[in-house]
Amino acid sequence: MDASKVIMERLNNRNYEAWKFRIEMLLIREGLWKHISEEMPNPMTSEWKQGDDRTRATIALFVEDSQYSIIRNCQTSKETWEALKKHHQKVSLTSRVTLLKRICQLQFQDGDDMEQHLQEMEGLFSRLSNADQKLDSQLMVAMVLRSLPEAYDTLTTALESRSDDELTMDLVKSKLLDESMKRRKNLPRGESILRVESMKKTIICHSCGRPGHIKRDCRQLPGKKIEEPRRKFKPKAKAAAVEEEKSFCFAVRNERHTNAVWVVDSGASTHMCADRSFFKHYEQQPGLTVALADGSEVNVAGRGSGTICYAVDDEEKEVTLNEVLHVPNLDTNLVSVGKLTEKGAEVTFTGEECKISKNGRVAAVAVRKSGLYHLETKKHNPIVAAVMQHTENCIHHWHRVLGHRDEEAIQKMVRDDLATGVKIRKCNVNHDCECCMEGKMTRLPFPKQTGAQSTRMLELIHTDVCGPINTVTPGGARYFMTIIDDFTRFCVVYFLEKKSEVPDKIEEFIQMAETRFGKRPAVIRADNGGEYRSRRLGSFYRQKGITAQFTAAYSPQQNGIAERKNRSLVEMARCMLIDASMDYKYWAEAVNTANYVQNMLPTRATEKTPYEAWYTRKPDLKHMHIFGCSAFVHVPDQKRTKLEPKGMKLTFVGYSDSQKAYRLVDLATNKIYHSRDVRFLNESKPLMKNSRPTELVEYDWNLEIHRDVADEPNVEVYDEEEMPLSSEGEDDFLDCSQGTQTEDSRSETDEDPDTPVTVRRSERCTKGLPPVRYREAIGMVKSNVPEPRTIKEAMGSTEQDLWKAAIKEELQAHEENGTWKVVPLPAGRKTIGCKWIFKRKEDENVVRYKARLVAQGFTQKYGTDYDEVFAPVVKQVTFKALLSVAHQRKMLIKHIDVKTAYLNGELQEMVFMRPPPGCDFGDSKLVCHLQKGIYGLKQAAHIWNKKLNAVLQRLGFKPSENDSCLYSKRNSDGTMSYIAVYVDDLVVACNSEEEYEAIVRNLNNHFKVTSLGDIRHFLGIRVTPRIKNYHSLHGKYY
C-alpha cells in the first residue's frame, strides 16, 4: 500500500472518532485488521511479525506529529492502537457526565437541518458508548424526541404510541426526516428563518473541530475547493455575526436589495453594510469574517461609520451608525437590534412594522415586507461619500496619533525623512479638526525670540512653570515645569504639587545631563518667579558655574521659547482630552504624551527632530497610537487564576518612562498600569461601561519604544519577564528619566497645609502590592511557616482544625452581619468570584489563625456591579496638626480599630457572588446576593466611608472643610472632641476617660470596635509618649 495515494486526514486531538473508523476500514481493506482484533500467536511467526510491523507503520503514517509521543514506545500494532484509544477515549466519570449533559442540552429549532441534528445526536451517542456508557435503543429514542420543539408534538405523540419493538432509532430517524422535508416544502420563499445561538454553538465539525458546520461542509478537508459553489437553492443570510462573537440569528432572502434598503435584524451582532459608498469614516479591517445562514463565511473588508436618511411622519431625519462592518458579499444592509439597544434605544416588533424609539419618542419605523422589516432610506451619494472617506494611514489619522500636531509639521517629518515607521496615504478630504478649533483658539502669538540661537547642546536652557491648574490630578499634581534645550529644542516635563519642588527638579535635570553627556548647562533662563530666585538655587548655580538669566518684570516674551512650549503642550493636551472624551483630571497624562510626541516631530528652529538631535538617532513611530483609545492588556498568569479573564480593558494614556511599555489607566480606579502586551482598539474612545471591541491592533514588541528609566511609583507593571511576585523588600529606586517624566513620578517632599485631598492609594512604589481594599485581609504579620494559599492546602495541612475554626468564625461573622442572601442567580446576570486568605496573626507570644473571605473585585463590571470607588483618608499633615493641638490642650489621644469594617457598608448595586470555596448550598444554581460590603469589592472602601460618615454625623461630629476625614464635636461644657479617620483606624482626641468611653460605647452601637488604648502607631508614624501630654513622632514606614 502506498500511503501517499490514500487521501485521509491525519489524527489530531479533535477527530479521533472519524479517524478511528477510517483507519479501521483501511486496515480491513489491506488485510491487516486481524493484528488489532486478534491475539498474537505464541510463538510469533515471521509472517505475523511482518504484518504487525506493516500495521503499526500504517497507523503511524496517519497521525500528526503531536501524537508521536503517545505511540513512540509501543512495540506492536495492538499496543499502538490501545495507546491511542486510551488517550483519546477518556472513560472517566467526568467525560461521561460531560457527554450526557451535551446530549441533554442539544435542542432542535425550526429552520435547522434535521439531518445535521440527528447526525450530531448519533455522534454523541457513539462517543458515550466508546466511553463505556452504552445507552439502550429506547433511551436514545427518548433523548432524540426530547430534543424536538413543540411544533413536532403531534409526531412525537404518534411515535410514542407505538410499541417498544416498533419504536426503533431507524424508524424515528425516517419519520423525522420526512416531517422536516414536508415543513421545508411548505415554507414560503423569503420567509424569515431564525437560527438561535445554541444551535451554532453545539454543532461541531468532526474534521476541523470548529463550531458552526458539519464535516461534509468543512473547507479544510483534503481536496475540498475553497471556491466550491454553495448548494443549489440555498439562500444567503441577511443577518449575521462576526466570527469571534459566535452569536447567530439569520434572516433569509433570495433577492438582492439596493443599497438604500436596510433590514432591522434582531440576530445581527453588529451593523453591516455591503455598499462602500455609505461610509464617511472608514478603515480597513482584515482578518474578520461573518457567518452566513448556510454555514459559509464571507470576509469583512473594513469598518467605519456613516449616515442614513429616512422619513418619519413626512419628516426627514438623519442618524449616524457607528462601528458598521463593510461586508461586500452581503445582499442586504443590516441594522443590528443589539447595537441599538446598547445605545439606549427600544425596538418593538409588531405584525406589520418595527418601531425604534428613544426616550419615549419614535425615531424610525421599519415596514414588514416578505417577512423582513425594511427601513427605507435615501440612496447614498457615492460621489460625496468618496470625498469623505479616508483610511487609517491618512494625514488625519496621524494628526490624531501625534496629539493633534499641525499637518504641516507631520508632512515635513515625512518629506524630510526625519522619522521611521510613518507612511501617509493620499487623502482627498479637506478636514477641519473640531477638537483643534475647540482646544487651540488663541489670540495673536508671542513675537519670535530675538537674538542668535545657541550653537551646541546645553549651551542655553529655557524653563518655566505652568499652573496652578484648577483640576488636581489623581496623583496630586497642580503644576508642570518644562525644561527646554535651546539648541536641540528637546524638552523634559516634570509634574509638581507645589512650586517649592522646582529646585529639586532643576538639580535632578542637571545631574542627568552630567551623567549622560558629561557636561552641565552654561546658562539657565527663567522668569522672575520666586521659585527660580531662591537662595538654594542661587547657591547651586554658583557651585556648578551656571549663569542664571531672568526676564524683566512683566515681560514673559523674553522667555518666549518656554512660554510657547507651555502653551503648545496645554493646547495639544486639551485637544487630546476632548478627542478622547476623558476627564480633565488626566491632564498630566495628556501633557506627558504631548511632550513625548513633540520631541519626535520637527520644529522650525532645527533641521532634525528634537529626539534625533538629543539622542543622535531617528525616532521610530510605529509603536504610537491615539491617546485615550481603549486597549486590552494581557493579565499575566501570576495575577490571575486559571478561569479568570486573561485580558483587561483599560485606556491608553501614553508611553512608560520606566520601561519599554505602554502606559494605561483604569478610569474607574485611576490605577496606572504598564504593559508590553497590549492590543489597541484604535478608533474607539474610552468607555466607562462595557462595550464590544472594535479594531484590534497587536503591537510588535521587537520595535523600540523611546524611553529611558524613571522613577515610577503608584503603578502596576504587567511584564512577563520580570513579574513582582511578592510585596517584600525595599522600594525600588531607579534612575531619573532623560525624557519626559510622568506626574506620578514626582519626588516625595515634606507635607504642607496646601496638600490636596489624599486618596487611599500608595504614593510609593508598591512593587506588586495588592490593592488597599485587601489591606485588612492580608496585612498581617508574616510567619516563618508558610500560610496555605488555598482551602485545599489548609484542609490538607497539620493545622487543619485551626483553619477550620477560623473559616467557621469568618462565616459566622458574615451570617450575623447579614452580608449576603442565598438566592438563585437571575437570568442574564453574572457572578463574581471569591477566595480565602489565610494568615497567622502573631501578637507577642500568641498566634491567632485568621481566615478572611475576599471577593475577586477585578471581575466586576463598571456601571453594572459598581459605580463610585473613591474613599478619602486623613492626610498625614492633618494628623500631625491634631497631635499638636491635643498637646497644647492637654487632651487624651486614643486609638480605635473597627473590626471587619468593610462588612458594615451597605451595597446599593445588585452584586452576585459565587459561594465561598468549601461551602455547598445544596443547589448549583444558588449564589450569594451581597447586601453589604466585603473585602475585595471595588466599592467596599467607598460604601464603608459613606456609612462611617453618616454614623459620626449622627453622633454630633462634623467633618472639617479642609480635610473631610477629620471630625470635630463641641461638647456641652464647651470643650472639643476630635476623630481622625483612616479607613478603619480612628484616632480620638478628647478631654477625659469618661468622654472617650462614651465615644467607644456609641460607636459600638453601630459597629464592633476595639479600643487599642493610647496612640502608638498611625500612618506609618510611631508615637512615643515621653512625659505627660507630650508625644514624640518617629517616621517609621512599615
Q: What is the DSSP track for 96-160?
A: HHHHHHHHHH----TTS-HHHHHHHHHHHHHHHHHTT-PPPHHHHHHHHHHTS-GGGHHHHHHHH
Q: What is the CATH number of the domain that holds 253?
A: 2.40.70
Confidence band of 523 (pLDDT split at 50, 70, 90): very high
Collapsing DSSP to helix, strand or coil, 164 comes out as: coil
Q: Which residue has the higher pLDDT, 408 or 674?
A: 674
- Three-state SS at 559: helix
If asked whether residues 305 and 368 sit together in one domain, one would say yes
pLDDT confidence of residue 885: 87
Tell me how far apart the alpha carbons of residues 753 and 154 are, in angstroms, rounded to a whole number.
83
Same domain, residue pair 592 and 656: no
Residue that terminates a domain, selected from 617, 637, 662: 617
Task: Return the DSSP state at 411.
Answer: H
Domain that holds residue 848: 791-1035
pTM of the predicted model, to two decimals?
0.34
Say whether both 484 and 592 belong to one domain.
Answer: yes
Q: 634, 694, 665, 689: which is closest to 761 by C-alpha?
A: 665
Q: Which long-range contacts (CB under 8 A, 24 or more apart) does 361-365 make?
A: 362/312, 363/312, 363/317, 363/319, 364/310, 364/312, 364/317, 364/319, 365/312
Is 899 within a domain? yes
pLDDT of residue 966: 92
Give the pLDDT band (50/70/90) at residue 484: very high
The verdict on 655 and 566 lying in the same domain is no
Q: Beta-carbon neighbour count of residue 846 at 10 Å?
A: 7
What CA–CA distances, in Å, run from 525 to 68, 137, 486, 901? 73, 94, 10, 54
Q: Among the ranges 230-239, 303-312, 581-590, 691-700, which has the highest mean pLDDT value?
A: 581-590
Name the domain boundary from 666, 683, 700. Answer: 683
As a whole number of angstroms, the distance between CA 484 and CA 458 comes to 9
Shared domain for 904 and 934, answered yes or no, is: yes
| More reliable by pLDDT, 956 or 437 | 956
pLDDT value for 368: 82
All residues at 6 or more sequence positions from 728 whose CB lies less than 8 Å from its CB, including other chains? 782
| Alpha carbon distance 707, 735 (integer Å) | 12
Q: Among the listed ranges 388-397, 459-468, 642-651, which one has the minimum average pLDDT value? A: 388-397
Measure the CA–CA gap between 749 and 755, rounded to whole angstroms: 11
Q: Which residue in this structure is represented by grid cell 472608514?
A: 282
Residue that wins the pLDDT comparison between 464 and 899: 464
Residue 49 belongs to some domain of the structure: yes
Residues whose CB is less than 8 angstroms from the CB of residue 753 and which lie 6 or more positions away in sequence, other chains included:
877, 962
557 vs 577: which has the higher pLDDT: 577
Q: Indicate if 860 and 935 belong to the same structural domain.
A: yes
CATH number for the domain including 476?
A: 3.30.420.10
pLDDT of residue 192: 36
- How far apart (Å, rounded) are the C-alpha atoms in residues 486 and 462? 7
Dihedral-angle region of residue 633 (phi above 0 means left; psi in -120 to 50 means alpha; beta otherwise): beta
C-alpha separations of 1011 from 467, 536, 841, 981 in Å: 45, 47, 18, 14
964-1011 confidence digits (pLDDT tens):
899 999 988 888 999 999 988 899 999 998 899 999 999 988 888 888
> Among candidates 158, 172, 171, 327, which has minimal Cα distance to 239?
327
**The pLDDT value given to residue 474:** 85
497, part of any domain: yes
Do 81 and 97 share a structural domain? no
Averaged pLDDT for residues 127-131: 73
Counting beta carbons within 10 angstroms of the beta carbon of residue 569, is it exposed (0 to 12), middle (13 to 18) or buried (19 or more)?
buried
Stretch 315-337: mean pLDDT, rounded?
82
Query: Which has the minimum average pLDDT: 199-203, 323-327, 818-822?
Result: 199-203
200: pLDDT strictly greater than 80: no
Mean predicted confidence (pLDDT) in 602-611: 83
Residue 482 has pLDDT above 90, yes or no: yes
Is residue 237 within 8 A of residue 194, CB to CB? The reply is no
Q: What is the pLDDT of residues 273-298, one digit of tens each?
A: 888 888 877 888 777 788 765 556 78
The letter for the amino acid at 753 is P
| Residue 873 confidence (pLDDT) above 60 | yes
Mean pLDDT of the residues in the chain? 74
Collect contacts of 409-416 with beta carbons under 8 A, ≥24 apart: 409/601, 409/602, 409/603, 410/601, 412/602, 413/601, 413/602, 413/609, 416/602, 416/607
Q: Look-up: residue for cell 460618615?
A: 949
329 and 316 fall within a common domain: yes
Q: With respect to residue 881, please indicate whether it lies within any of the assigned structural domains.
A: yes
Does residue 772 lie within any of the structural domains?
no
Q: Where are the alpha helices (DSSP H) in 2-45?
A: 16-29, 34-37
Closest listed residue to residue 445, CA positions, set 566, 609, 608, 587: 566
pLDDT of residue 757 exceeding 50, the answer is: no
Contacts of 608 (CB under 8 A, 6+ apart): 418, 602
Q: Would you say 377 and 308 are in contact if contact means Cβ atoms under 8 Å apart?
A: yes
Helix axes 114-130, 93-105, angle to 10 degrees: 160
Neighbour-count burial of 229, counting CB atoms closer than 10 A to its CB (0-12 exposed, 13-18 middle, 19+ buried): exposed
Q: State the DSSP code for 754.
A: T
Indicate if the pLDDT at residue 702 is higher than 60.
Answer: no
Nearest-10 Cα torsion for 683, 685, 687, 690: 0
Tens digit of each residue's pLDDT (9 = 90 or more) over 147-178: 888 878 778 877 777 777 778 888 888 888 88
Place of cell 462517543: 127
Average pLDDT rounded to a whole number, residues 199-218: 59
The backbone torsions φ and ψ at residue 562, rounded to the nearest 5 degrees and listed phi first, read: -70, -40
Cell of 297: 463565511
Q: Give the CATH number of the domain where residue 632 resides.
A: 2.30.30
Question: Residue 624: is its pLDDT beyond 60?
Answer: yes
Q: Are residues 65 and 104 in the same domain?
A: no
Share of the chain above pLDDT 70, in %: 71
pLDDT, tens digit (0-9, with 9 covering 90-100), for 50-107: 999 999 999 988 888 888 888 888 889 989 988 888 887 655 565 677 778 888 888 8
**Per-residue pLDDT at 497 exceeds 60:** yes
Indicate the pLDDT class of residue 123, thresholds 50, 70 and 90.
confident
735/516 Cα distance (integer angstroms): 11
677 and 566 in a common domain: no
Between 800 and 391, the more confident residue is 800
pLDDT at residue 463 is higher than 90: yes
What is the predicted pLDDT for the residue at 265?
83
CA distance 632 to 680: 6
In this predicted model, what pLDDT tens digit does every residue of 894-941 receive, in sequence order? 898 888 888 888 888 889 999 998 888 888 889 999 998 888 888 888
* Residue 183 lies inside a defined structural domain of this protein: no
What three-state secondary structure class fits 453?
coil
pLDDT band (50, 70, 90) for residue 515: confident
Asked whether residue 224 is domain-assigned, the answer is no
For residue 8, tell me if it sits in a domain: no
Listed range (342-351, 639-648, 700-709, 831-840) with the worst mean pLDDT? 700-709
Q: Is the pLDDT of residue 790 over 80?
A: yes
pLDDT per position as a tens digit, 824-864: 988 888 888 999 998 887 654 567 788 888 998 888 887 77
DSSP assignment letter at 46: H
User: % helix / strand / coil in the chain, to the nearest 5?
Assistant: 30, 20, 45
pLDDT for position 587: 92
Helices (H) and strands (E) in the chain, counts: 27, 41
Q: Give the per-residue pLDDT at 305.
A: 86
Q: Which of 41-45, 158-162, 492-496, 684-688 is the least confident region?
A: 684-688
> What is the SS3 assignment for 354?
strand
- Residue ending a domain, choose from 617, 645, 668: 617
The pLDDT confidence band at residue 214, using thresholds 50, 70 and 90, is low
Instruction: Say whether both 548 and 678 belong to one domain.
Output: no
Q: Which residue has the cell 488626566?
A: 586
**pLDDT (0 to 100) of residue 290:** 80
Residue by residue, DSSP assigns 624-661 as ---TT-EEEEEPPGGGS-TTS-SEEEEEEEEE-SSSSS
| pLDDT of amino acid 623 | 84
- If one counts the domains in the chain, the total is 6
| Mean local confidence (pLDDT), 660-667 | 86
In this predicted model, what pLDDT tens digit does every residue of 382-436 receive, in sequence order?
333 333 344 456 766 777 777 676 777 777 777 767 677 676 665 655 555 756 7
Query: What is residue 607's predicted lDDT score, i.e. its pLDDT?
Result: 78
Average pLDDT over residues 364-377: 80
Give the least confident one: 22-36, 243-257, 586-600.
Answer: 243-257
Residues 40 and 144 in one domain: no
CA-wise closest residue to 275 among 257, 287, 288, 293 = 257
Q: Specify the pLDDT at position 593.
A: 92
